Amino acid sequence: MKILLIGLGSIGQRHLTNLLHLGYTDVSVVSRAGVLPDSFSRLTCYASVDDALQARSFDAAIICSPTALHLASLFPLLRAQVPNIYIEKPVSHNLEGLDELVRLATSYTNNIVVGYDLHFDPGMQKVKELLDQNVIGKIVSVNAQVGQYLPDWRPQQDYREGMSAKKETGGGVMLDLVHEFDYLYWLFGPAENICCQYTNSGALEIETEDVCEVLIRFSNGAIGTIHLDYLQQKMIRNCMITGHNGSIFWDLSNCRVSWINKNKQETQFEYVGFNRNDRFIESMQSFLSGAEDPRLTSLAEGLESLRWVVAAKYSAEHNSFVNPNTFKTEQFVK
């Protein structure tokens, strides 16, 4: 299989290392630096996606460029009708150009996946299983939160110069930590209304928002909240789901899912031995196999979580509730 990997930042290097570990040897890289680190020096490097596509055809492409550059990388691949495309989350940083994206993506048969690897976390899979089995009955509320100190993300570089810190590259907690928007849509379906407040606290000397609170009413009647921040000194990522007959608590930091029923019977599922990188390996294996895997995120699903984020931003900036399903696209475009 001939694979083109676009972008060699931290996530690009992770995917490239995993691809080589999985035995894929015909991998080419697009890097703006024009040169690859010594550990990848044997691979072919191109300065742009267009250069790579002019040189040869590819069976698959993996987009790992900064969020704001995703569509610039994606459009040439779609025009060349590359059959398998993996886009690191989120699809883009706003809704501009998405009509053209959908037109190109539906112009030929393809396998386009958005990289929401949390679907491959054993704990998240257990939560999905419990919900599908109606273990806690009708869902009434869900509370998701995530926080991690931004300077700890990539300690080898100045975080103030990274993608997360800059608006032009699509940074900020709402896009960086978009997993929460995605998995709530995956678990509970469409949102009927979204309300949001976000702020730049000034603590990190960055351009983008570092704290955000979101309120959601789902179409199924449940209500939910999302908390996002760049400031937690100890990483947290968890979700509490409350139903008529009990509750479920997923705690990624401690690799645990616990649930309790109306009889006060508590059960725990632990997966302490699971490595974070295993999620990336499993999702890439599934994508490249072309298998029907419900854990993979389709382009349509990836666009929905992006719409939630942009709707939330609009809500905060206009002090209003927003229905992401009926809000006109052009009103979102900055």
**Which domains does the chain show, CATH number per domain?**
3-115 (3.40.50.720), 122-271+299-332 (3.30.360.10)
- Percent of the chain beyond pLDDT 90? 90
Helix (H) or strand (E) holding 332: helix 329-332
Indicate whether 121 pLDDT > 70.
yes
Residue 237, CA atoms < 13 Å, CB-side half-sphere? 17
Q: Which of 241, 242, 272 is nearest to 256 (CA)?
A: 272
User: How far from the centroid of its chain's Cα atoms is residue 70's Cα?
Assistant: 13
- Using the structure block, give the residue that is written with the tokens 């930091």: 253
Residue 145 contacts by C-beta under 8 Å, 6 or more apart in sequence? 180, 226, 227, 228, 236, 237, 238, 239
Query: What pLDDT does 32 receive?
Result: 83
CA separation for the pair 102, 246 (Å, rounded): 41
- The count of other CB atoms within 10 Å of the CB of residue 292 is 7
CA separation for the pair 61, 284 (Å, rounded): 11
Query: What pLDDT does 155 receive?
Result: 86
Q: Please report which confidence band the pLDDT of residue 35 belongs to, taking 50, 70 and 90 as the band edges.
A: confident
CA separation for the pair 102, 98 (Å, rounded): 6
Q: What is the pLDDT of residues 131-156, one digit of tens each?
A: 999 999 999 999 999 999 999 998 88
Read off φ and ψ for residue 27, nearest 5 degrees: -115, 125
CA separation for the pair 137, 121 (Å, rounded): 23
Indicate whether 70 pLDDT > 60.
yes
Q: What is the pLDDT of residues 207-251, one digit of tens each?
A: 999 999 999 999 999 999 999 999 999 999 999 999 999 999 999
Q: What is the pLDDT of residues 89-117, one digit of tens each?
A: 999 999 999 999 999 999 999 999 999 99
Q: Please report which confidence band the pLDDT of residue 172 belongs to, taking 50, 70 and 90 as the band edges.
A: very high
Indicate whether 332 pLDDT > 60.
no
Q: 170: which 2 tokens?
A: 């699509």
Q: What is the pLDDT of residues 275-312, one digit of tens each?
A: 999 999 999 999 999 989 999 999 999 999 999 999 99
Average pLDDT along the chain = 94
